[in-house]
Amino acid sequence: MDDRSGPLLIEWRYDTLPIPYECAVASMERRIAAIRAGTEPELVWLLEHPPLYTAGTSAREADLLDPHRLPVVKTGRGGQYTYHGPGQRIAYAMLDLDRHGQDVRCHVWRLEEWIIRTLARFGVAGERRDGRIGVWVAGDAGREDKIAAIGVRVRRWVTYHGVALNVDPDLDAFRGIVPCGVSPEITGHGVTSLAALGVKAAMAEVDAVLRATFDDVFGEALACKS
C-alpha cells in the first residue's frame, strides 16, 4: 500500500509480506538515485524481512557467534551485526538531507526521536544512551535492553536504510550474534521487544503510530539536538 499524503509530501509504502533483504536493498538503491535526480519523491518504507543476519560496515567476525544458524548478508549501512526477521518492523527512510539539513548525526538523532515518540504512545519509555546508537529501555537492577537498532547510509546527501523496531520478533535469534555490540555477558545489556515488555501491538497499529509521529520529528519546526 502506498500513501503520498502529509505535509512533508513524502511517499509512504507499507508491505505486509516479508521482503527479501537483497531485493529491498536493490529497490532502495534505485529509489535514492531517483530522489537525487528529482524524478521520484522521498520515501518511508515499512516492511519485514525473512530471518537473516546483516553485517554493517563496523561488523567484527568474532561477533558472528553462530554463522550457520541463519543467512548472513554484508551490507553498506553503518553499524555492526543485527538480526532481521518477522515481528520486527523495519522503517527504511529514504530522505534528501539537502531538504532536511546536511547533518548525518542530526538525522540519526531524529530517527531515535521518532522511535522514542512512537514507543511513548504504547506506554514504553524509550531512551538514548551516550555512545550507543539506538533506542533503549531501562530495566531492573540497572540493566538496559535495546528495543530499536539504527543503521544508515548516505549517498550524495540522500539517506537510506534506517530503523529496526522489535515489535514481537524471535528474540532467541539474537543469540547467534553479538547484536550491535550488545551482549548481556559482555556489556550487561540485552535486547527486548514490545511483546517482551507486555505490550500487545499489531503491526498495523505500530505502522499507524509511526506515521502519526513522523512529521513532527522530521518537519522544520523541530530543532535537532545532535
Q: Tens of pLDDT along 100-140?
A: 888 999 999 999 999 999 999 999 999 998 878 899 999 77
Mean residue pLDDT across the chain: 88
Q: Tens of pLDDT along 2-17?
A: 555 555 689 999 999 9
Nearest to 144 by CA among 158, 127, 156, 159: 127
CB atoms closer than 10 angstroms to residue 26: 11
Q: Tens of pLDDT along 153-181?
A: 999 999 999 999 999 999 999 988 886 55
Q: Which one is catalytic: 23, 106, 180, 224?
A: 180
Q: Which residues contact 67 (CB under 8 A, 6 or more apart)?
A: none
**What is the residue extent of each domain of the chain?**
2-217
Residue 159 φ then ψ, to 5°: -100, 145
Residue 224 a catalytic site member: no
The whole model's pTM is what? 0.89
What is the fold of 2-217? BirA Bifunctional Protein; domain 2 (3.30.930)
Q: Tens of pLDDT along 174-193?
A: 988 886 555 544 455 689 99
SS3 at position 162: strand
